[in-house]
Amino acid sequence: MAGTPERRVWRTRWWVRLSAVAVPVAVSPFVFYAPWSPNPDYRESGMPADDWFWSAVLLACLVLAAWAAFRARIELGAGRVRVVNPFRIHEFAASSVVDVRPGRLGVEFVLSSGRVVSAFAVQCTAAHLGPEPRWVGVARAVTGRAVTGRR
C-alpha cells in the first residue's frame, strides 16, 4: 500500500521468551510431583506446608516472568511510539522524543516534557551480537537520526 507508514515492532528476544517458558516447565515437576528430589528428607516425612506455599509462590513468580517476557514490546507507527511493559502501557508522539539511551530497565526514551519512559522489551547490555547494540536501531527508527551506540 503506497503512502502507508511503516509499522515496526520490537519484542523481547526469542531466546529470552524461550528461557522464560522453559524454566517454569523444568521446575514444576520438582515442585508438584517430586518434591523429594531436591531434598531427600521429604521422601519419608513429606514436604512441610510452608514449603509447599513458598514453592507455589516461586512457580507463580516464574510464570509471571514468562508472561512479562511475551507481553513487553515497542511499537512504532503513524508517528507514535507505544511502549507496552508488563503492567503499564505508555504512548507518545515520536516527535516528542529528545533522546534514546540505554537504561537500567531497558531502552529509555527521554521526552521533551522531561519524562523518561523505559521499555523492557529491548534490554541494553554491554555485550551484543552484530555491529551495534539493539537499542541503537530502535533509537534510529524512532528519532530518524543517527545514533553512535556509545554511552
* 102 neighbors 108 (Cβ within 8 angstroms): yes
Residue 127 lies in a domain: yes
Total H helices, total E strands in the chain: 4, 7
Q: Which of 24, 45, 71 is the last residue of a domain?
A: 71
Query: How many structural domains are present in the chain?
Result: 2
**What CA–CA distance (Å, rounded) separates 74 from 64?**
19
Q: What is the pLDDT along the chain (151 residues), one digit of tens a residue?
A: 444 457 899 999 898 899 999 988 888 777 666 655 566 666 666 667 777 788 788 888 989 999 999 999 999 999 999 999 999 999 999 999 999 999 998 999 999 999 999 999 998 777 677 788 889 989 999 998 877 655 5
Indicate the DSSP class of residue 83: E
pTM as predicted: 0.78
139 and 77 within one domain: yes
30 and 42 within one domain: yes
Q: Which of 20, 49, 71 is the last residue of a domain?
A: 71
Q: Which domain holds residue 58?
A: 11-71
**What CA–CA distance (Å, rounded) separates 109 from 98?**
8
